[in-house]
Amino acid sequence: MITDLRLQHFRSYDDDSFEFQPGVNIVVGPNASGKTNLLEAILVLATGSSYRVSDAELVQRDQPWSRLDSHDVTDRLRTAKIVLEPRPIKTYEIGGKVIRRLTLKDKLPVVLFEPNHLQLLAGSPEQRRNYLDDLLEQTEPGFGTLRREYKRILAQRNSLLKQAGLLSAGQLFAWNIRLSESAGRIVRARSELTILLNENLAQLYCDLSHTQTRVSLAYACRFTPGSYETQMLKKLESDLVLDQARGFTGTGPHREDMHVEFDGHPAGLAASRGESRTAVLALKIMELDMIAAVRETAPLLLLDDVFSELDGARRKALTNYLKNYQTFITTTDADVVIQNFTETCHVIALGD
């Protein structure tokens, strides 16, 4: 839980401070008043990165640096700084200790629910891959490092593929080995997480929707997870000419997907808008419970302009799960949110 936040040269904020309550905090204001920027600041402090832009873009225009400061219930100070020159550098200070990159133990657990997540089932496979990987970063030590490593190796291999002239298998062999090894670890983590989510999704969906529709998840893996490295390595070698012709690596976890089905039919074809939103809401609730169990502390819950996107029944369902979490909700209409809470909520009003 965080008790306050000061933003200096961060996005649209020059130098502003806010105080928060343990329960529901409602950030209300017109469009372009800084609501999402405020949630983004909390996310950067908690996890180390924005879900929207690069570090350099977090700094207010025409300013050389940005700084965020917050305290927790023990009055411990948590600071994030971004300095642009000579190149963007981000550092953290937690309880007086300077940190260059946040590890899992340094991060505050947090669950973000924003408008793009409502398209999770019908959107691109990349959205579902990111959903799994973002959750794994918060629950599996070292997964964030593994994720970044895979991206670096993949970028290097793709760069070699784009070079003029034919490459030999030997020139890529070391990169193929490293890529396959990282890929196998990523795929097994995603597969295990999908199985875990699938164990509880069907029942939670039925509880939220008051129907008997069966919703299921399955990770669509190109190769058997247990021998993924070996099979992927063979495929990379056999597809060398094809990969060079198209200029990118066509095999690996960066090309895979998590399938969602409603009564055995693909969600993109069988699920209505309301059914899709209920399933996404169920996934977010499971995300909250899973992170709380693994981290042994309640995550912060950030709802960026999605409360009004849910109908009355789904708002009520979500509200029932908010009582155990410090929650931050952005909205242009506070009444829509406030009427769903019988207990006191803290309203933060932003101007034009």
CA dist 345 → 41, 72, 74 (Å): 21, 19, 22
Q: What is the pLDDT of residue 352?
A: 57
- The pLDDT score that the predictor gives to residue 270 is 87
DSSP state of 71: E
Q: What is the rounded distance in angstroms from the CA atom of residue 16 to the CA atom of residue 12?
A: 10
Give me the helices (H) in 247-311, please.
Answer: 267-270, 273-295
pLDDT reported for residue 342: 66
82 CB-near residues (< 8 Å, 6+ apart) = 55, 56, 58, 59, 65, 66, 67, 88, 89, 90
- Joined tokens for residue 349: 């009003």
Classify the phi-psi angles of 170: left when phi > 0, otherwise alpha if psi is within -120 to 50, otherwise beta: alpha
In the chain, domain spans: 1-109+299-352, 119-296
- Please report the pLDDT score of residue 14 as a whole number: 95
Q: Which of 319, 288, 268 is nearest to 197 (CA)?
A: 288
d(CA 120, CA 140): 22
- Tell me the CATH architecture of domain 119-296: Up-down Bundle (1.20)
Beta bridge partners of 18: 5
Is there a cis peptide before residue 30, judged by omega within 30 degrees of 0? no
Look up residue 210 and give its two tokens: 């008051």
Q: List the structure tokens of 231.
A: 């099979």
Residues 85 and 64 sit within 8 Å (Cβ to Cβ) = yes
Say whether 348 sits in a helix, a strand or coil.
strand
Regarding beta strands 24-28 and 327-331, do their DSSP bridges make them parallel or antiparallel, or are they unpaired? parallel
Q: Which CATH architecture has domain 1-109+299-352?
A: 3-Layer(aba) Sandwich (3.40)
- What pLDDT does 166 receive? 67
pTM given for the model? 0.89
The pLDDT, as a whole number, for residue 262 is: 94
Residues in the chain predicted with pLDDT less than 50, given as ranges, are: none
